[in-house]
C-alpha cells in the first residue's frame, strides 16, 4: 500500500489515479495516527516552500511521524516536485528550513535571456552512474522524458545522491536519493509511460 500524504498542498487525485493505473493499492491520508502504519509514502507538493513546511508543521504530530517512518523505520519515501525540494535543508524561495533528509539545497534558476522560468513541459532526465539510481530508474529507457513545472531546482551536496540529471540552461538534479528516501522534480503522474515505470519501480522497493 502506498500512502499519499495530504498536508493540503499537492496533486493528490492525479497521483492516486496513476497508482491505480500501475495496479498498486494507494490511499490519501493526513492523520498522523494512521500514517504510523504506512508501508511506504509519497510526499507531493505544489506551491511555495515555506507554506508547505508551515502546513506540515501545522498538523500536530505529522512531522514526527514522517521523520520516524523515514529515518528510523526506513520506510521508502518519494518526494514529488515541491515534495522533493522539501527533502533538502533549505530553499532560496523561502526562509524556513526544510526536512533535511537528503543533504542539499534548493535554488532558483539563474536569469538568462533565453531561459523562460518556470521550466515547464517535457524534458529528458538521464540516470546517473550512482548505484542508488538502479532501483528507481530501472527500465527507464535510453532517453526517458518527464513532465516538469518548476522555478527552483535542487543541488545535492554529494554527487552519489544524484539519481537523474536534466538540462535546462544548466544541469540540475532532477531525481535524488539516499538510502530509502527518493525525490523527483518532475511529475511522474503526468509523464505517461515513463512516469508509470518510475512509480512501479518505487512500489517495488
Neighbours of 13 (CB within 10 A): 11
Among 41, 7, 28, residue whose Cα is nearest residue 203: 41
The catalytically annotated residue of 67, 143, 189, 204 is 189
Cα–Cα dist 106/109, whole Å: 10
Whole domain around residue 127: which residue ranges? Answer: 2-203
Structural domains counted in the chain = 1
The catalytically annotated residue of 92, 187, 192, 204 is 187
Is 81 a catalytic site residue? yes
Q: What is the pLDDT along the chain (205 residues), one digit of tens a residue?
A: 999 999 999 889 999 999 998 899 999 999 999 999 999 999 999 999 999 999 999 999 999 999 999 999 999 999 999 999 999 999 999 999 999 999 999 999 998 888 899 999 999 999 997 655 578 988 888 889 999 999 999 999 999 999 999 999 999 999 999 999 999 999 999 999 999 999 999 999 9
Is 107 a catalytic site residue? no
Is 187 a catalytic site residue? yes
CATH number of the domain bearing residue 182: 3.40.50.880
Amino acid at each position: 500500500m502506498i500512502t499519499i500524504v495530504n498536508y493540503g498542498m499537492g496533486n493528490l487525485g492525479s497521483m492516486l489515479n496513476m497508482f491505480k493505473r500501475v495496479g498498486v493499492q494507494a490511499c490519501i491520508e493526513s492523520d498522523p495516527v494512521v500514517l504510523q502504519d504506512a508501508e511506504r509514502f509519497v510526499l507531493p507538493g505544489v506551491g511555495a516552500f515555506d507554506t508547505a513546511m508551515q502546513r506540515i508543521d501545522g498538523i500536530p504530530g505529522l512531522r514526527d511521524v514522517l521523520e520516524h517512518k523515514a529515518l528510523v523505520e526506513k520506510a521508502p519515501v518519494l518526494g514529488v516536485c515541491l515534495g522533493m525540494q522539501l527533502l533538502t535543508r533549505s530553499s532560496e524561495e523561502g526562509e524556513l528550513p526544510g526536512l533535511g533528509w537528503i543533504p542539499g539545497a534548493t535554488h532558483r534558476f539563474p536569469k538568462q535571456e533565453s531561459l523562460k522560468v518556470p521550466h515547464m513541459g517535457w524534458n529528458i532526465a538521464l540516470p546517473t552512474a550512482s548505484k542508488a539510481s538502479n532501483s528507481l530508474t530501472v527500465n527507464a529507457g535510453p532517453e526517458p522524458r518527464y513532465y516538469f513545472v518548476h522555478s527552483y531546482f535542487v543541488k545535492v551536496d554529494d554527487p552519489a545522491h544524484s539519481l537523474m540529471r536534466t538540462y535546462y540552461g544548466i544541469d540540475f538534479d532532477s531525481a535524488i536519493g539516499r538510502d530509502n528516501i527518493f525525490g523527483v522534480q518532475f511529475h511522474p503522474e503526468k509523464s505517461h509511460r515513463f512516469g508509470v515505470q518510475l512509480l512501479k519501480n518505487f512500489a517495488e522497493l
